[in-house]
Structure 1
């Protein structure tokens, strides 16, 4: 029987206290991984997640860090190793939130924040965590991208610019570290249902859903399931991929 078994693996999720991050943490732990729970400011939610992971019989630590600063990411790596051991699975999920505007109105600072939180976070994480993966001859490096990177809709410019830059880093990194048995992939969610939607009863949006071939929005659990698949041995020959999880709303072409 095929199983998504991560027993003995140590995973890091950045932005772990966010809507998607929380589900990723719980799903990774449910499949057997110990988890480094990164947060920037929501310590209470991070500690709550730590308890949830431990209730599943797995180990967990929480680490506060600003993923846009290389020094903080290096400290994150050191605390992860000291607390749990060398990280086998990196999930770059954190991103800075901002108000979308047209190119002509979008503040320059928002382009800078997206570059820092999408591109440079990935570079800092790679520099901090991948060398040990190379030494061990394997690992998983997974980034959370977005369907917006293919949509290029009005108002998305800063977000799209950051995520498309991130895409380039991942594709190059996949070629550079593949010979060491490390896979590098991206998961690209669509407009995803989270606990926030469930609390407000806003799961449905007909305007969005009418253009989705599966005629619905995806769930946070479906995103987490894809992340765990890419973290597992079942995906051992997949690298350099951009995987939309959006019901077919965008479809990469060959």
Structure 2
């Protein structure tokens, strides 16, 4: 049994980010052609494109504002010109900002999280679901967070955006499921990335003690779950919120 994405095309938003680039590599190694979305880091996007092409896959880079419907539709059109219709959408991009208390958090930070979590999800569905419905096959994978179950101080803008995203994904799963399109979420814990390896910041004893597996997860472990949900192996899983956090958060029944 193996994950085979041959002849599939996947879009990863925020593909130049710490987790996004590993997702892009992983889906490409499973056989998918990759649309590499970036916001500002064109150099990283081009480097990732070269790497994916070295695997024998097709890849294109696409710039878009994920908080704007017209920009996302333009991105869709470019991808279709370069790679064909998109089968798999991984919503990974999110606006970055400085976390602080509710009393001190700027109102525009809440707006940025709503736009980049909720509205990105809505716009991606509007742009890419119709062709999936025609083909009776498709995958949406949203990258959520363990934070939505923790609700720690200073997380309010991020958590509110990601909780809104959760609502969109659960309803979308019910609305388009009859067309054999699955809609799921992966919720990473505090994950070891390339930046951590470069800076020797992989360990955090205080965090690790709260995790049943007593360690932080890796970017590859996140990408592995994304690849599974994007594949035919997960054809009967939809509407799921799946923490990849070593048991640090556990959804209840």
For the superposition of Structure 1 and Structure 2, which TM-score range results when normalised by the shorter chain?
over 0.9
Residue matched to 1:99: 98
Residue matched to 2:62: 63
Residue matched to 1:119: 118
SS of the residue 1:166 aligns to: helix
CA distance in 2, matches of 1:72, 1:179: 28
User: 1:231 Cα shift?
Assistant: 0.4
Residue matched to 2:234: 235
Q: CA-to-partner distance for each residue in 1:115-168, whole Å, 9 max, x for gaps?
A: 000000000000000000000001000100000011000000000000000000
SS of the residue 1:94 aligns to: coil
User: 1:68 Cα shift?
Assistant: 0.6
SS of the residue 2:182 aligns to: strand
CA distance in 1, matches of 2:167, 2:221: 25
Residue matched to 2:150: 151
User: 1:88 Cα shift?
Assistant: 0.3
CA distance in 1, matches of 2:56, 2:118: 34
Q: CA-to-partner distance for each residue in 1:171-192, whole Å, 9 max, x for gaps?
A: 0000000000000000000000
Q: Are 2:77 and 1:78 equivalent residues in the alignment?
A: yes
Residue matched to 2:201: 202
User: 1:51 Cα shift?
Assistant: 0.3
CA distance in 1, matches of 2:208, 2:108: 32
CA distance in 1, matches of 2:81, 2:110: 35
Residue matched to 1:224: 223
Residue matched to 1:29: 28
CA distance in 2, matches of 1:3, 1:249: 28
Would you identify which runs of 4 or more consecutive aligned residues in structure 1 move more than 4 Å?
A: none
SS of the residue 1:27 aligns to: helix
CA distance in 1, matches of 2:137, 2:21: 25
Residue matched to 1:18: 17
CA distance in 2, matches of 1:126, 1:161: 20
User: 1:200 Cα shift?
Assistant: 0.6
SS of the residue 2:191 aligns to: coil
- In the alignment, structure 1 segments of 5+ residues that lack a partner are none
Residue matched to 1:137: 136
User: 1:194 Cα shift?
Assistant: 0.2
CA distance in 2, matches of 1:50, 1:196: 20
CA distance in 2, matches of 1:138, 1:4: 16
CA distance in 1, matches of 2:103, 2:241: 29
Q: Are 2:174 and 1:175 equivalent residues in the alignment?
A: yes
- In the alignment, structure 2 segments of 5+ residues that lack a partner are none
Q: How many residues align?
A: 253
SS of the residue 1:251 aligns to: coil
